[in-house]
Amino acid sequence: MKLHISLGIALIVLILDLASKYWVESALEFGQSIPLTGFFNLVLTYNPGAAFSFLSEQSGWQRWFLSGIAGSAALLIVYLLNKYKHEKLFCLSLSLILGGAVGNLYDRITLGHVVDFLDFYIGHYHWPAFNIADSAIFIGAALMIYESFRNKENSEDS
């Protein structure tokens, strides 16, 4: 996959992520929840930490630490997209991860936290709220795992 296509996919993810966060912040107040189904709410929440609110209770150093990790990962991903441009599924995976990482990095640098709003639940058990960027990162990682098993099966058949 050509680098500009991969970066275009990442840009689409970034735009969708930032636009959805902007919309949610303009439509809801912090902590407000709007039930949409028996298993899904829109809720405006902020996460100063990493996935599953890891490090969220820290004094603020995590903002720059996590930003540094995301920025470094983004640079590495651009390098890998260029190096492995012939690996389409791998590049698609990295493009999704890149778009999501940059979306959350933007929030972290400009706001000091990540905006989350997708709240899925079963009964009283709620999955931690997440956003479009998190979804893209998850899908990208899942595709990468799938691709690694697919490549392993192909190499065993040879």
Catalytic residue set: 116, 134
Q: Which residue has the tokens 């809801």?
A: 28
Q: How far is the C-alpha of 53 from the C-alpha of 127, rounded, in Å?
A: 11
Distance of CA 73 to the CA centre of its chain: 12
Q: How many CB atoms lie within 10 A of CB 145?
A: 11
Three-class SS of residue 140?
Answer: helix
